[in-house]
Structure 1
Amino acid sequence: MLTATNPAAAKNIARFNMKERCYKFEPMVEQTMVHYATDGWLLHKANDEAKKQIDMEKLQEDALMKFQAEMDRAVSEKKDEGVETEPPDDSRQLRNQFNFSDRAAQTFNNPMRERATFTEPPPTSAMAGSVSQWEIYDQYIQDIERQKVQEEINKAKAAAKKGGAVPSQAPKPSAEEEDENKDTSNTIQGPEMSRAAHVLERMVNQNTFDELSMDFKYWDDATDALREAEGTLLPLWKFSNEMTRRRHVTSLCWNPRHLDMFAVGYGSYDFLKPSSGLICIYSMKNASYPEYTFTTDSGVLSVDFNPERDNLLAVGCYDGSVLVFDVSKKINKPVYQSTIKNGKRSDPVWQVSWQPDESSKLPQFYSVSSDGHVDLWTVTKAELMHEEVLSLRMVPRAGDGEAGGEARAGSLARGCCFDFSKANAFIYLVGTEEGRIHECSKAYSSEYLNTFDGHGMPIYSVKWNYIHTKMFLTASADWSVKLWNSTSPEKNVMAFDLGSPVGDVAWAPYSSTVFAAVTDEGKVHVYNLFRNKHEAMCEQKIIKKGRLTKLEFNPRHPIVIVGDDRGCVTCLKLSPNLRMTSQPEKGQNFEEMEVQKLDKVIEVALKSVVGGEGGEKI
C-alpha cells in the first residue's frame, strides 16, 4: 500500500516466513529515495573506450600538424611570389575537441523554524478571610439545624412509603438546603463519564488488536490459489475473562441486528458437578471484556435472540427453567422466568428457539427438554404463558420384541435438540437421546410425520439447510455426521466419520454444500460437498488440550466462532477456498443454482451406495 507522503515506500509488505510457514508483515521498509540521477562523462584510462579516444586524438594532432605545415609552405610560396595572404582562422572547432565548462548547482535550503505549543494557565482567584471563635460557633449551630431538618424530611418520606399520614407541620428547608439535599449523580460514576470511558475503551482495544482487525478485513491465504481442494482457518480474537474460567461454552447465538455481537451461554456438561450459569454478550469491537453479563442460579444450556426484537434473549437452564432477559435494560435479573406454577420442567432444557406466529403478535419461543416434552412459551405483558406442544413418545425398534416394544411405546423419549424448517414454520425436527430424529408438526401433538433412525448414541445437533429446504444434518456422539433427505426417511444420504464425538454441526449461510463441525479432539472440520464429498477441505486443531463444544457461522461475514470446555470462544476466518461461491448463469436464480449443486452431489452419492445400509460412508 503506497501513500502520498512517500510514494516509494510501501507500508504493508508481506514476506513468507519459512520457519513459521505463514506470511508476515515486514516492519522495516526501505526509505531510500532518488531525487536526481545523471550519467557521468569521465572515462577510466585503462578502459578500451578511453584508449580509442586517445588514439583518435593523436591522429587528429598529426593531421593538424600536417595541415599547419602545408599552410606554412603555401604562405611562404605566396610571399616569394609577392602575394599577401591572410592568416588562417584558428577559431573553428575541430571534431571531438574537449571543451570544459564549469557548472554548479545550489539547492534552496529552507530556513530553520521553531515550533512550540503554549497552553493557557488555569484561572486563579485570590481568597482571603478570617476565622474567629464566634464564626466557628455559628457554623456549628447551622449544621445542627440542618441535621434536624434532614431528619424530619426522612421521617416524612418513610411515613409516605408505609402509607401513613405525612406530618403537616414538617419544617420546609430553605433553597440552599434543598440544593444541598438534592440527589445529584456523581460526575465520576455518571452516564456521561460511563459513555466517555466506553469510547476510550473501544479506542484502546482497536489499537491493541489492530493487526487482527486488518486480518479480519483484508487477509486472504495466497496459497489457496495453488490448492483448489484445501483451505485454512485463521484464528482472530479469543473471547474469555475471569468469570468464564472452569465453565463450558454450552451455546452460541449471533444478534440478528448487530452482526458483530453474539451471546455466549456458560454452564457445565459435567452433571455430577453442577454450577451456576453465566451469559456474556460480546462484540468483535471489544474482545477484552463482554458488553453485558447476566448470571443465573442454574447452568445455562441454550440461548437465542429474538429475530424481530433483538433486545429479548431466551435462555434454557439445567434446572428445567426458561428465562427471558431484556438486554437493553442492563438488569441482572430476567424480566420473565418460569416457575413450577407455569410449566417449569424437572429436567434440563437443552434448546430454545424463537418462532414468530402470524396469528399472535406476541413473542413466542419453543423449548425442548430431556423429560420428553416440547413446550411453547408466550411472552405477555404480565407473565410467561406455557403450552405443551408435543410429548416425545418412544418408537419401538425392529429387534426389541413384544415386551421391549410395549415398554418403549409407554415411555417418553429424551429430547436433546430441535430445529425449525426454513421453508415451513410448522415443520420441525427433534433429535433424541436414543439416536433418532423425529419430524413433527405444530398441528399434530401426538403423531410424528417421519422418524429417521441412523444413530446409535445421543444426537447433539440437528440443522436444516438454509437454501435446500429438504436437506438437514445431524451430529451425534457416535463420531458421525449424517446428511438426510426429509422425503426419504429410510436411510441417510451420506455419512461422515470424524473419529471423535461431534459436539455441533452448522450449515454455511452462503452455500448449500458447505458445512462445519467440531469434535472432542479440539478440531474444526469444514466440508464442501460440491468440491470434495469424500474428505474435508479443512481439518484444523484449534486448542491443544480440551474439546470443542459449539460452533456458529456469522450470517454476513466469512467468520465462524467456536466454543470449548474451558470458557473460551475463538473467532476464525475462512480462507478464500472455504468461502468461495459459484456464479449463477444468465436467467438463473442463485438459490436454484445452489439447490441443483446439492442435488447433483446427492445423485452421485446414492449411485455409489456401500452395502445395503444407509448412504455413502466417508
Structure 2
Amino acid sequence: MDRYAILKKRKPQHQLTLTEDELKEEITKVLTTDNPHAPQNIVRFNFKKGAYEKVSLSHTVVLFEMESNTESEEHRRQMIKQGFFKENAATSAGVESHKDDLKVQADKDRVEGSVASKADTNKIKCKNEAHFVDRATQTLNFSKREIGCSPEHPCRTFSATANQWDIYDAYQHRHEESIKQSCYPAAVANTVKILEKMVHQNAVADIVQDFACFEDEADRFRGQEGVLLPLWKFQHKKARRFSVTALCWSSKYPQLFAVGLGSVDYISKQEGGLIILYSLKNSFLPEHIFPTTSGVKCLDIHPQHPSLLAVGFYDGCVAIYSMGKKGLKPVCKGTVPEPSSFTNPVFQVCWQNNETDNNHRFVSVDADFRVLSWTQIKHELFCTEMLRLSLTDDPSDEEQLQNLPGGTSLDFHKQIDHVYLVGTVQGKIHKCSECHSDKFLMTYDSHSSEVCTVKWNHFHPRVFISCSFDRTVKVWDDTIK
C-alpha cells in the first residue's frame, strides 16, 4: 500500500442530506444536575410536629472514588528503604546523608547515656500529617432553673348544717355506691347468664321437648293440610308501640335472631325504633336492646362475625352495631351521599366479602334507585355506587322521573360472590354483577306489583324464589328468561 497515497472521502449510504440553513442552525444543549432515577415524593413522619414531611434528596451521583495521600521526601525515603521504590542517583545521596545524620545522632546519644541502639535508630517512624487529625468538642451545659411552689394552707375550721333528710341522702348515696362496687365481674356474669338459661329451660321443659321432636298424630287424617304449633312468644314492654319491620337469624348461632322495630305508617313522622336480639334459650328477656333515632327497615347479622349487625333505617341512613361492645350507640353510621333526598328508606342490607382488604363491607338497596357498597374503615363508613337502576338505556327526563324503579330487595348468589338479584317497585327482577356496573345481566318480568323479597336457593345455584304484593310466590331458573 502506498503510504503517500491521497485518501478519498466517501459519503456514507445512510447519511442525512441537510441544507445550508439546517447545517448552520445552532442546537442548544442543556445539562442539568437532576438525577432522573432519584425517588420522588419521599416523606417521613415527624413525631415532634405530628405530621408527614417531605424529604429533600441529593442529586449527586458518585462515579469514581479513590483515597489519596500526600507525597514528601521523607515518605519517598521510607518507601525506598522498604523496597517499594527503586533507588536512583537523585535519591541515593539523600539516603546516604540521612544515614550519616543518624550515625552522628547515635554517637551523641551514647555520649549522653542513651540506651537506644543503632538498630532502633534505623526504625524511626515518621508521622504523616495527612493521617492524623486533632478534634475538639465542647458539650452544652444545661442552664439552671428554679421552680418554686407554695401549697395552700390546710383548713383549720369547718362548719356545716345537717338535718334529717341530708343524713338520709348521704346514707342512700353510700348504699348505691356499695351496690355498684359489688357488681359481678364479666366471668361471674357469664356464669349467671348460663344458669338463668338453664332455669328457663327447666321452667318450659314441655315446649323445649316439643321444639326438638313434636309429631302430631292427627296429620295422617288431614291429607295435605298442616298445622303450626306455637312454641314461644317473645315480647318486651318497650316494644309495645312499635311494629315488627325486620327479622334475621344468625348463621353461626342458630338459636339467636334479631328483630327490627319501627312504624309502618310512612305518612306520619317516624318516632324512632328498636333493635332487639332474642335467644330461644331464654324467651323471657332479650339478649341485647339498642334504641334507634329512626325506624328500622332492615337488618343483617354478619355470617363470620356474629357480633356485628348491619341496619338500614327509614330515614336513609345505615349503621353497624356491635353486640360485644358496651354502650347503646352504633360503632359507625353513614348517610347516603348526594344527590339524594335523604328521606328514602333503605329496603335491604346484605353483608358481603371484601376481597381487596380485611375491612367489613355490606351492600344496601333503597328507594334512591341505587345499589351502594359500604366499607367500614376504623369508625367510619365509606360508600361507593355499584349500580343505578333505570328503565331503558336512554329514557326521557319526564319518563325517568315518573317510572324510576326503586329497589326493594337484594340477595347475593351463594356460590358466585359478584352476582346478585335486585327486586324493584315495578315488579321486575334484575340479575346484576359487580363486574358490570352499567348494565343488567338479565331482567325478569316477574310480577305485576312491587317485589317484596327475592332469595337464591342454597342448594341449587340456578334457582331463586320471589314474592310480591300481587299475592304470588314464584320459583325461577336464572337461565330461562
Same fold by TM-score greater than 0.5? yes
Cα RMSD of the aligned pairs, angstroms, is 3.1
Alignment of structure 1 residues 102-501 onto 2, 5 Å: 169=151, 186-191=180-185, 194-195=189-190, 197-225=192-220, 229-273=224-268, 274-339=270-335, 345-395=342-392, 407-408=399-400, 412-489=404-481
Equivalent-residue separation in structure 1 for 2:202 and 2:251 (angstroms): 27
CA deviation string 1:470-510 (max 9, x = no partner): 11111111111112111112xxxxxxxxxxxxxxxxxxxxx
Q: Is the 8 A contact 1:342 1:385 kept in 2?
A: no
Structure 2 residue matching 1:293: 3-state secondary structure: strand
- Given that residues 418 and 433 in structure 2 are in contact (C-alpha distance below 8 angstroms), is that contact kept between their aligned partners in structure 1? yes
Per-residue displacement from partner, 1:246-290 (whole Å, max 9, x unpaired)? 322111111122211111111122112323111000000110111
Which amino acid counterpart does residue 183 of structure 2 have in structure 1? Q
Q: SS at the partner of 2:232?
A: strand
Q: Which segment is superposed worse, 381-390 or 287-296?
A: 381-390
CA distance in 2, matches of 1:296, 1:227: 46
Q: Distance in 2 between matches of 1:256 and 1:244?
A: 25
Q: Using the alignment, how far apart are the partners of 2:395 and 2:221 within structure 1?
A: 61
Q: What secondary structure sits across from 1:439 in the alignment?
A: strand
Question: Does the CA-based 8 Å contact 1:276-1:299 persist in structure 2?
Answer: yes
1:202-245 Cα distance to aligned partner (Å, 9 max, x none): 24422321211111122122334556644332111111111121
Does structure 1 retain, via aligned residues, the 8 Å contact 2:354–2:361?
A: yes
Distance 1:405 1:380, change over 3 A: closer
SS of 2:459 mapped into structure 1: coil
TM-score (norm 1): 0.46
Amino acid at match of 2:316: G
- % same residue: 39
Q: CA deviation at 1:326?
A: 0.8
AA partner of residue 185 (structure 2): P
In 2, Cα distance between the equivalents of 1:470 and 1:169? 82
Partners of 2:316 and 2:335 within 8 A in 1:
no
Residue aligned with 2:408, SS: strand
The C-alpha deviation readout for 1:528-582, integer Å capped at 9, x for no partner, is xxxxxxxxxxxxxxxxxxxxxxxxxxxxxxxxxxxxxxxxxxxxxxxxxxxxxxx
One-letter amino acid of the counterpart of residue 198, structure 1: K
Preserved contact between residue 347 and residue 370 of structure 1 (Cα < 8 Å): yes
One-letter code aligned to 1:481: V
**Displacement of 1:434:** 1.0
- Aligned equivalents of 1:408, 1:456: Cα separation in 2: 19
Give the distance between the partners of 1:406 and 1:443, measured in 2 at CA: 30
Q: Distance in 2 between matches of 1:264 and 1:270?
A: 18
What is the identity, as a one-letter code, of the residue corresponding to 1:473?
I
- Give the structure 2 partner of residue 611 of structure 1: none
Contact 1:237 1:287 in 2 (8 A): yes
Change (3 A) 1:438 1:185: same
Structure 1 runs not aligned, ≥5 long? 1-166, 173-179, 397-401, 490-618
3-state SS in 1 of match to 2:212: helix
Greater displacement, 353-362 / 470-479:
353-362
- Could you say which structure has the larger radius of gyration? 2
Tell whether the 8 Å contact from 1:323 to 1:336 is kept in structure 2 after alignment. yes
The alignment covers a number of residue pairs equal to 310
AA aligned opposite 2:364 = S
| Native 8 Å contact 2:331 2:379 kept in 1 | no
CA–CA distance in 2 between the matches of 1:245 and 1:338? 28
Q: Give me the whole-angstrom Cα distance separating, in 2, the residues matched to 1:259 and 1:415.
A: 29
Q: TM-score if structure 2 supplies the norm length?
A: 0.59
Cα distance in 1 for residues equivalent to 2:401 and 2:442: 16
> Structure 1 residue 413: deviation in Å?
1.5
1:59 is aligned to: none
Q: Which residue type is aligned with residue 374 of structure 1?
A: V
Instruction: Please state whether the residue corresponding to 2:229 is helix, strand or coil.
Output: strand
Shift of 1:357: 2.5
3-state SS of the aligned residue for 2:324?
helix
How many angstroms apart in 2 are the aligned matches of 1:342 and 1:334?
23
1:393–1:409 CA contact under 8 A, matched in 2: no
Determine the C-alpha separation between the residues in 2 that align with 1:472 and 1:240. Answer: 33
**For 1:231 and 1:261, how far apart are their aligned partners in 2?**
26
Conserved 8 A contact 1:292-1:330? no
Per-residue deviation, residues 147-184 of structure 1 (Å, max 9, x unmatched): xxxxxxxxxxxxxxxxxxxx884899xxxxxxx9xx98
In structure 2, the CA distance between the partners of 1:478 and 1:315, relative to structure 1 (3 Å rule), is: same
Structure 2 residues not aligned, in runs of 5+: 1-148, 155-173
3-state secondary structure, aligned to 1:443: coil
- Which of structures 1 and 2 has the larger relative contact order (alpha carbons within 8 angstroms, sep 6+)? 1
Q: What's the CA shift for 1:383?
A: 1.6
Distance 2:365 2:150 in 1: 60
